[in-house]
Structure formats: C-alpha cells, structure tokens
Amino acid sequence: TRGGYAHFMLKEIHEQPRALKDTYYGILHDVAVGEAVKLMHDADKIYVTAAGTSFHASYYFSLLMSILGKRLVIPFIASEYESYYLTASDKDLLVVVSQSGETMDALKALRAFRNRGAGVVAVSNVVDSAIPRESNIAVYTRAGPEIGVAATKTFTTQTLVLSWLAIAYAEASGSLSKSEADMLRGWLGRSGEVVGKIIARLEPVAKRLAEWFRSVGNAYYLSRSIGVPVAMEGALKLKEIAYIHAEAYPAGESKHGPIALVEEGFPVIFTIPNREDLEKLLLGNIQEMKARGAVIIGVASENTGLSDQLDYHFRIPDTHWILTPITHTPPQQLLAYYTAVSKGYDPDKPRNLAKTVTVE
Ligand code: F6R
C-alpha cells in the first residue's frame, strides 16, 4: 500500500533512509563481496553494463573504480552490447546492474559475455531473478519492492553497494589504506541518516521550485566527475515523469555546443560534489551559464563557496563526496515528482513506460 503517501514514488523516496540502512547492514556481512572482489582482481578486463537508471549507477562505479581503485572499468549501455562483447574472453569480468534482475537488454548482454567465457557479477534488488541466477556471484541491494515505475530507492542503494565494492577493491589492491577505507565505509553507514535529514529539509524547497518548473520546456543538468551520473539521473527523472526535455552532460562540454541554446530564464541544475577541486572547475561553468541569463539551481553542500552564485540552493549537509549520488539525487527526485504532480500527471504511471522491460 501507499501507506498514507499520495503515490508510491513519494513513499519510495521517503523509504530511502531505511533502504540505505538495510543495504548497508546487508553488505557488511555479505560473503559475496570478497568473492566479487577476487573476481575483479583476477580479471584481465572489467566491464559494467545496465539500462536506464541502473546504467547511471554503473557509470558511477566505473568512475569510482578509476578514482579510488586506479583500475579501468569499461561502462557500456546494455542494449549496445553487440559493439563490445567480441572484445571479451574467459579472462574478463562483466558486472551487470539491474534492480529487477529481468531486463532483457541486460540479460542479453550477460549471455553474450558468458558465451565468450567471461565471469559475471550481478547487482540486483530481486533475489533469484534471471540476472543473478545466470551470474557467478550476486550482490543484493535491500531496498524492498519498488512499485513506482521511476527508480528511486533502488538507485541510491545500488550506488551504496557499488561504492562498497570499489572501496573493497581499492583496499585489497593497496590503493586505499585500511583507515581510509574504514572512513569511507563509515560515511556509507551514516548515509541513511543523512538522507533522512536531506529529505525533511529539502522537500518544501523542491515543492516551491516545482511551481516554476511546471512551466519550463527544457533544462540542463550539469556536473563533473562523479557528479555526472547524478546529473544524468536527475534529468531522466524529469523527462520520464514530468515530460520535460532535460539533458545531462559533463559541464566542460557547454562551450562545445549546448550553450548555444541558453537564453534568459533557461534552467540549469548543477550537481556540485563536496570537493574543492570540482567546485573550482564548476564555478567557471556556472559563470558562463549566468552570463547568458541562465537560472542556476545548485545541489551543493551548505558550506559551499559557490552559494552566492546560486539562484536556488538545495542545501546538502557537509558530507564526503563519495556520497554524492546518495545525498544529491533525492532532492532531484523530489523536484521531478512535485513538477509532475503540479502538471497533473501520475508519477507512478508515466506514459509509454513499463517498470520492467522484458523485451528487446
Ligand atoms: C528509470 C527506470 C529505468 C530502469 C531500467 C533498468 O526510472 O526505472 O530506466 O532503471 O529500465 O531497469 P532494471 O534496473 O530493472 O534493469
């Protein structure tokens, strides 16, 4: 049941604190983690694949493996597997991320890699679904059933599990010390509590902003580094339930084309990870947008040095940047939700979309 909430999507957004805690305690004791890390170590090449929201989590994983683990992980969209699988052999590993565990595009990619002898690690929310069943190892999110078509709590919990795997890999391979790894795991352990505060604080802000967003025709979602998949997720939510054209891309690309579209009043949502180097780079991107009259919405730490640049500020408590998908996505889910509702749409049943796509 919707348990007093107007929609499943809103209920599931609010379930994130609990879903993150359950996922954290689940993975803390999961023996599959060690086995997955061993497969990652032994692999010649590592690929990660998924569709939609799960691909955004996968892309985050590849960035984290590079930043923390100093290891290249090749991300690709599941329906594009035919352009990749011929490069795989029995020395390689494919990580498949799928909340339902039944997405046909992801399953086809898995089978193509298996046929070439590659090992497979699944990350799923549904125990014993097709993708985990056909994998060597399965690691689970513990988000509970997700009814709303738009993925919410399954995304933030996927990024928790994938962060955990990247940290474990980086620690085992010596690129992170035990104390650094423990510190990062500590942040993951507190993420549920932090998200509870974020939702309570920012739901009214999202609701107010939605009153303007209901009338916009386009929006850009920009960030850099590990913020980029979060921007991609923010844009997808707005598209799929509020039917507003939204485009996400790494902020440095603006001057290579997209800024041509920006004029007075054009909304640009910046996902700003809590990292000084990224804030510095994003400052230039914010200024070039403002110079063309863009309205700047920043999802950023409450202590960011960029706050006077922002027309709207979703104030995120000061946390470690590794939590960016967990801390910076919920306000963007809420913005999409309230925009859809104020336009009179049912966010639980977006047009043309099914919860699980079991056809190619
Ligand atoms: C977006 C959404 C879809 C799914 C995609 C993959 O809100 O829900 O993009 O993320 O269809 O589904 P799973 O994770 O079940 O493989």
The answer to whether 106 touches 132, Cβ cutoff 8 Å, is no
Q: What is the pLDDT of residue 210?
A: 98
pLDDT tens figures, 153-200: 999 999 999 999 999 999 999 999 999 999 999 999 999 999 999 999
C-alpha 164 to ligand 1 mean position (Å):
21
- Residue 307's pLDDT is 96
The answer, yes or no, to whether residue 355 has pLDDT greater than 90, is no
The amino acid occupying position 300 is: A
The mean pLDDT value of the chain amounts to 97
139 beta partners = 123
Give the per-residue pLDDT at 276. 96
- Per-residue confidence at 281, pLDDT binned at 50, 70, 90? very high
CA of 106 to the centre of ligand 1 (A): 10
pLDDT classification of 354: cutoffs 50, 70, 90: confident
Of 117, 115, 99, give the one whose Cα is nearest residue 50. Answer: 99
Q: How confident is the model at residue 1 (pLDDT cuts 50, 70, 90)?
A: confident
State the pLDDT at residue 56.
Answer: 98
For residue 32, the one-letter residue type is A
Q: What is the mean pLDDT of residues 277-295?
A: 98
pLDDT at 353: 87
Ligand 1 pocket residue status of 99, Cβ below 6 Å: yes
Residue 82 has pLDDT above 90, yes or no: yes
- Ligand 1: centre distance to CA 256 (Å): 30
Between the CA of 333 and the centroid of ligand 1 the distance, in Å, is 14
Mean pLDDT of 72-92: 98
Point out the residues that are catalytic: 355
Tell whether the model's pLDDT for residue 323 goes beyond 90: yes
Question: Distance between CA atoms of 190 and 174, rounded to whole angstroms?
Answer: 25
- Closest ligand 1 atom number to CA of residue 52: 9
Residue nearest (by alpha carbon) to ligand 1 atom 4? 52
Residue with tokens 């505060």: 197
Residue 355 alpha carbon, nearest atom of ligand 1: 8
Strands (E), 113-217: 119-124, 137-140
Regarding the beta carbon of 67 and ligand 1, being less than 6 Å apart is answered no
Give the distance (Å) from ligand 1 centre to CA of residue 162.
16
Please give the average per-residue pLDDT across 340-352, as a whole number: 94
Q: Whose CA is nearest to atom 9 of ligand 1?
A: 52
Q: What is the pLDDT of residues 209-255, one digit of tens each?
A: 999 999 999 999 999 999 999 999 999 999 999 999 999 999 999 99
- 357 ligand 1 Cβ < 6 A: yes
Residue count (the chain): 360
Q: What is the pLDDT of residue 114?
A: 98
Render pLDDT for 5-62 as a digit per residue (tens, 0 to 9): 999 999 999 999 999 999 999 999 999 999 999 999 999 999 999 999 999 999 999 9
pLDDT tens-digit readout, 119-133: 999 999 999 999 999
H or E segment to which residue 227 belongs: none
**Strand ranges for 110-244 from DSSP E:** 119-124, 137-140, 218-223
Q: For the chain, what is the largest distance between any 2 Cα atoms, rounded to a whole number of angstroms? A: 55
Q: CA torsion 131→46→68→230, rounded to 10°?
A: -50
Decide which of 356 and 167 is more confident. 167
Instruction: Write b or e for each residue in 273-292: b if 16 or more Cβ atoms lie within 10 A of its Cβ, otherwise e.
Output: bbbeebbeebeebbeebbee
Ligand 1 atom 5: residue of nearest CA: 52
Ligand 1 pocket mutation, candidates 357, 358, 360, criterion most atoms within 8 A of CB:
357
CA–CA separation, 43 and 93 (whole Å) = 6
Tracing tokens 């190619």 back to the chain, one arrives at 360
Cα 54 to averaged position of ligand 1 atoms, centre (Å): 6
147 lines ligand 1 (CB under 6 A): no
Q: What pLDDT sits at residue 266?
A: 98
131 lines ligand 1 (CB under 6 A): no
Instruction: Give the Cα-Cα-Cα angle 240, 245, 249 (nearest 5 degrees).
Output: 100
